[in-house]
Chains A and B, each alone.
Chain A
């Protein structure tokens, strides 16, 4: 428990605890970032997904401790019954789950969660008028979803129940059926995502446009106060019930102390307070002062914090601070917009070929190893596949367009720009967008890319945008090239491969607008396949197809370095960590 920022009430409680009278409130102070708000349909970025998951939940979630990752029921009473043809999933909703009291409900009293709430919430994700980036989790898979979306697209004033759509049906108060157009082996995975979290219809209607600032969820915490760009505070949701800390885990979890709270009702913390701190120096000083439970390591602090052997310096080890290094199952890349007249695809095979060579030259021009060394202290490693290591479909085949400046120059010449000049002698100019407006690290990274491209004669202009503007332009395809990263949403490479599926083009998740009929054919084949060596072989084939076409220039695989205070308990690295806040705890310190 941390006293420095505690309110008067918690100071008193802490005093009582010290006196051995009553147990104190346990508060976690952390550092958070800017995010868009609390609307599950708008949870496409990591930070928003993280915040939303404190307040809202879905039918199922990942087991916190078990590996490999598997799904357990949360608001569902049990895992669904699946019809033999794999097309109907029947969920029984847990009884007695309550939405918290809120002015949006009649009389201000929260009501019980029903199956219809899921129907309404899932329809919101599909509703084209809300422009969710998450529609891909249902649109091509749920029966009738495409036609329903199309109808709403053409009749924007239609009500959501005007055309009959029976993909999601509440057959009674506590039974939900999801009917699929074709088998969808990833359904349970996608239902763990914040897009599939349940919101009460009353709150959506009552708050209207302001709904994203007024979350009303069944989740472990509820929002107390949010001052954008400064501070956010959550407290235990008194209506949260029915979940205890897991009593079993992976081998070694007990020894690591991860089962000390086994069987205790969740959530374990009373309060979570986060500060939006832009200046790393401040974060670092607060962490050292014991005011924050965790901190990352900025590149300019690395050498003072991490030893050359990549361990923690003795001074920090002596304070009991733990360093946890973990890959995040993500890939950073520079995407090309395949609709762009300079770098994109073309129906003319000769032009198409030249543009492909230009993209390959771009990829080969960037010294990714140097990037890792200079800008990430070698925490990131050069990527060699679309997929990060650890995902079925990843192979360690070397990246064919890895850094080679001479080859880049040659490819550039073959693309029609010898020494970076076109036939008329004009220099080739390309534009790249990246997030991080105003950030020193982003500016230094941009400077690096500009320099790498300049070395082969290409003038690159990097535009650093605010995160919201960057996402909008990527979403709407207003790009030529864009620096981006994708973190996997569930343990299946299909989540990466959908980023190249033709029909998912902008405003869908295929931000590169990549089109390849052969790839699409394979994708349509694998979407309904269960995990098997045969499917993995097709994944590998699909990855090779994309790499050869180069809609992405591959950059790095990140490795996260997190520092944690000794009093922060129950942390276990999780690739899909959103629902994990309820498991964390702090010990008196």
Chain B
């Protein structure tokens, strides 16, 4: 008789834990709203792109510039007479695109380097550690600025790159590449440590003795055991990326032709002294709620997925 009890898996367990935390669930709800806004913004962007028309959020109305909030424009209008609320909605799209595009660079890079270093150790490890120590020793924002400038001027000059920038804003691309090539260090360290831990475990030794190749061990056997770390890392890194983009756009290096939150704050500062707080306030609050929700939910997710990393429990004993 088979009396194996159905055990909830890693994810099922995590979900049960999360559901017990009302704050985490509230944050999840906020995130769902943001994702909804993001999907809506992407839809308006792409439908306009495909139809070859100017999306509504880009149409200016110079006779209605810098208006105060009204029923028609709940957050007023900006320097070009565009509705600020609409700009914030599109800014959500930019924020998510930044997070995703950067992760496309950060995750493969950080994972591959960390896995190789941790699994092989010795000289390979020394090389990777040297590399990330160098990258990490340069102040982040400066390195990002430098890379973003290089990417930007490369994009401006190369015809091939300009086909790419028809679909992705060149400033956005520059920022993502800049943050991508500086942001992998944390993930790389984490994965390297995990691979160190796993490479001498019994299941790995078993696989090795059965003749599995290094690649198979690294990706088929060990990877599933560390995959949740990537998700945790991603959810905790995401808010940082959004904030960094805002800083870069504020400094004028970020997104160029799309309404990012940083660019909105940059525009808004010009008229803040006149008491026009709504553009700045709107963009800042949009950023605040997203970053806060991501942080709290990311924390909860980490606790749920990897009890060993749980900070609260460690403190209480």
Rounded to whole Å, the gap between the CB of B156 and the closest CB of chain A is 5
* Interface pair B62/A447, CB less than 8 Å apart: no
Which B residues lie within 8 Å of A70 (CB)? none
Chain B 256-286: CB-based contact to A (< 8 A → 1; otherwise 0) = 1100000100110111011000000000000
Q: Tell me whether B270 and A450 are in contact (CB under 8 A).
A: no
Please judge, given known A-B contacts A300-B274, A304-B274, whether A440 and B62 are in contact too, CB under 8 Å: no
Cβ of A231 < 8 Å from any Cβ of B? Answer: no
Contact B257 A281 (CB under 8 A): no
Say how far B90's CB is from chain A's closest CB, in angstroms. Answer: 14
Specify which chain B residues have a CB less than 8 angstroms from the CB of A298 in the assembled complex.
270
Q: Are A440 and B252 in contact (CB under 8 A)?
A: yes
What separation, in Å, do the CA atoms of A280 and B270 have in the docked complex? 8
Q: Which of A300, A427, A431 contacts B270 (CB 8 A)?
A: A300
Q: How far, in Å, is B50 (CB) from chain A's closest CB?
A: 13
Q: Which of A443, A451, A462 contacts B60 (CB 8 A)?
A: A451
- Contact (Cβ within 8 A) A438 B79: no
Q: How far does the Cβ of B173 sit from chain A's closest Cβ, in whole Å?
A: 13
Contacts of B165 in A (CB 8 A): 461
Are A300 and B271 neighbours in the complex by a CB distance under 8 Å?
yes
- B251 on interface, CB distance cutoff 8 Å: yes
Chain B 55-73 interface 0/1 with A at a Cβ cutoff of 8 Å (1 = within): 0001110100100000000
Number of interface residues of A (CB under 8 A): 29
Residues of B within 8 A of A469 (CB): 153
User: Beyond A374-B62, A438-B252, is A427–B52 a contact (Cβ under 8 Å)?
Assistant: yes
With an 8 A cutoff between CB atoms, is B27 at the interface?
A: no
Pair B79/A444 contact, Cβ less than 8 Å:
yes
B60 & A440 in contact (Cβ 8 Å cutoff): no
Mark contacts of A301-314 with chain B using CB atoms, 8 A cut-off: 1 yes-contact digit, 0 otherwise.
Answer: 10010000000000
- Chain B residues in 8 Å Cβ range of A427: 52
CB pair A447 B257 closer than 8 Å: yes
Residue of B nearest to A442 (CB): B252
Contact with A along B35-52 (1 / 0, CB 8 A): 000000000000000001
Chain B residues in 8 Å Cβ range of A461: 162, 165, 170
Instruction: Report chain A residues within 8 Å CB of B253.
Output: 438
C-alpha spacing A300/B266, complex, angstroms: 13
Which A residues, 431 to 488, have Cβ-Cβ distances below 8 Å to chain B?
A: 431, 437-440, 443-444, 446-448, 450-451, 454, 461-464, 469
Interface flag for A370 (CB, 8 Å): yes
Q: Which A-chain residue is minimally distant from B276 (CB atoms)? A: A300
C-alpha gap A383/B153 in the complex (Å): 32
**Nearest CB in chain A to that of B59: its residue:** A451
Given known contacts A438-B252, A450-B257, A444 and B156 CB-to-CB distance under 8 angstroms: no
Bound Cα distance from A431 to B253, whole angstroms: 19
Is residue B80 contacting chain A, with contact meaning CB distance below 8 A?
A: yes
Q: Are B54 and A281 in contact (CB under 8 A)?
A: no
Q: Specify which of B52, B60, B79, B266 lies most central, judged by the most chain A CB atoms within 10 Å of its CB.
A: B79
Query: Chain A 208-222, CB within 8 Å of chain B: the 1/0 string?
Result: 000000000000000
Nearest B residue (CB) for A281: B273
Knowing A373-B62, A447-B80, A454-B54 are in contact, say whether A440-B256 is a contact too (CB < 8 A). no
Q: Is the CB of A440 within 8 A of B270?
A: yes
User: Do residues B54 and A439 form an inter-chain contact, with CB atoms below 8 A?
Assistant: no
Q: How far does the Cβ of A476 sit from chain B's closest Cβ, in whole Å? A: 12
Chain B residues within an 8 Å CB radius of A454: 54
Chain A residues near B263: list those with CB within 8 A. 443
Question: What is the bound-complex CA distance between A444 and B79, given in angstroms?
Answer: 8
Nearest residue (CB) in B for A298 is: B270
**In the complex, what's the smallest C-beta–C-beta distance from B149 to chain A, in angstroms?**
9
B80 pairs with A444, CB closer than 8 A: yes
Q: Which residues of B contact A464 (CB under 8 A)?
A: 252, 256
Rounded to whole angstroms, the CA-CA distance of A301 and B251 in the bound complex is 21
Residues from chain A with Cβ under 8 Å of B79 in the complex: 374, 444
**Contact residue among B54, B65, B156, B267 (Cβ-Cβ distance under 8 Å from A440):** B267
Residues of A within 8 A of B257 (CB): 447, 450
Complex CA gap A54/B248 in Å reads 36
Given A447-B257, A454-B54, A438 and B60 touching (CB < 8 A)? Answer: no
Residues of B within 8 A of A443 (CB): 252, 256, 263, 266
Bound complex: CA A409 to CA B147 (Å) = 40
**For chain A residues 266-284, which have a beta carbon within 8 Å of chain B?**
280-281
Interchain nearest-CB distance for B257 vs A (Å): 7
| A9: min CB distance to chain B, Å | 35
Could you say which residues of chain A place their CB within 8 Å of the CB of B274? 300, 304
Contacts of B273 in A (CB 8 A): 281, 301
Residue in A closest to B268 when the chains form the complex, CB atoms: A440
B288 to A: closest C-beta gap in Å: 22
CA distance A281 to B274 in the complex (A): 11
Task: Find chain A residues with CB under 8 A from B60 CB.
Answer: 447-448, 451
Mask of A38-52 contacts with B, CB within 8 angstroms, 1/0: 000000000000000
Q: Flag if B65 contacts A374 (CB, 8 Å).
A: yes
Q: Which residues of B contact A439 (CB under 8 A)?
A: 252
Min C-beta distance of B111 to chain A, whole Å: 34
CB distance from B65 to the nearest CB of A (A): 7
Least Cβ–Cβ distance between B100 and chain A, in angstroms: 24
- Residues of chain A in range 358-374 having any CB-CB distance to chain B below 8 Å: 370, 373-374
Contacts of B65 in A (CB 8 A): 374
Chain A neighbourhood of B156, CB < 8 A: 431, 463
A452's nearest neighbour on chain B, judged by CB, is: B60
**Least CB distance, B107 to chain A, in whole angstroms:** 30
**Closest A residue by C-beta to B253:** A438
Query: CA of A280 to CA of B256 in the docked complex: distance in angstroms?
Result: 21
A329-383 at interface with B (beta carbon < 8 Å): 370, 373-374
10 contacts across the A-B interface (CB closer than 8 A): A280-B270, A281-B269, A300-B274, A374-B79, A438-B251, A439-B252, A440-B270, A448-B60, A461-B162, A461-B165
Sample of 6 further A-B pairs with CB below 8 A, known A440-B269, A469-B153: A280-B270, A437-B252, A438-B252, A440-B267, A440-B270, A461-B170
Q: Which 9 A-B pairs have the closest CB atoms?
A: A438-B252, A300-B270, A463-B156, A374-B62, A300-B271, A440-B266, A444-B79, A451-B60, A440-B270
